[in-house]
Amino acid sequence: MKGIDPALSRTRSFTRRGDRMPRTHQAAWDRLAAQAVLDVPRPRPGSTLVDPAYRLDPEQVFGRQAPLVVEVGPGSGDALVHAATTHPEVDFLALEVWRPGIGHALAKMGEQALPNVRFVEADAAPVLTTLLEPGSVHEVWTFFPDPWPKNKHHKRRLVDAEFADTVADLLPPGGLWRLATDWAAYAVAMRQVLDPHSRWELVGTDRAPLRPVTRFERRGTEAGRSITDLTYAVR
């Protein structure tokens, strides 16, 4: 349809749930976004894409050379803020398509933005094909992506063969992709994609070391869903 961002055909349910935030999250956005949320070139105003000609320079963004972790869909920022606080020597780039989610994560930081965290408001699947130099990322995290539980929506799930190639391009040999889900069917689907993939090797099923137990996770376990953690390394 003319005038509609093509990314919305895949991400409509979580791209435009509305940009209104609770007062505390909006205040955090107003206070911290100028420092923590990157102003990237867009193909057009309001797009969740990034101009494919743009290449982000982490050394320029963070003002130093440091290992870079990319989190896809940080949600309310629990893992992101915990990890960045615990490991100030590591830089974290979070791609989140939903602006209120970024506001929530910013609110967790308090009065000051964490100097080793930056956000890009964007749909990660297309954007990560061009945003970063190949092999420039230390780890990629994808914790609790939208499970799209209805069969007719499975094609919208983030973790597919195409995205697996995108993530593999970001990492050097041995670089890690950490995933977690509380939907057993999605865990099976992840393994069906990644176990036979020529570029990935399953190296662990233990809980990611920097992933805290969140309220979201507790709700899943209280509802009777088990948590699956998967760690893959680039061959």
What count of other Cβ atoms lies within 10 Å of the Cβ of residue 129?
A: 15
The rounded distance, in Å, linking the Cα atoms of 214 and 219 is: 9
- Give catalytic status of residue 206 as yes or no: no
| Cα–chain center distance at 92 | 10
Q: 173: which 2 tokens?
A: 């040999």
Q: What's the residue count for the chain?
A: 235
Contacting residues for 101 by C-beta, under 8 A, at least 6 apart? 74, 75, 76, 77
C-alpha dist (Å) from residue 155 to 34, 159, 191, 195, 235: 35, 10, 16, 19, 26
Which residue of the set 146, 160, 165, 229 is catalytic?
Answer: 146
**166: alpha, beta or left, given left = phi > 0 and alpha = psi -120 to 50?**
alpha
Task: Identify residue 83 by its one-letter amino acid code.
Answer: A
Contacting residues for 26 by C-beta, under 8 A, at least 6 apart? 103
Contacting residues for 206 by C-beta, under 8 A, at least 6 apart? 229, 231
Active site residues: 146
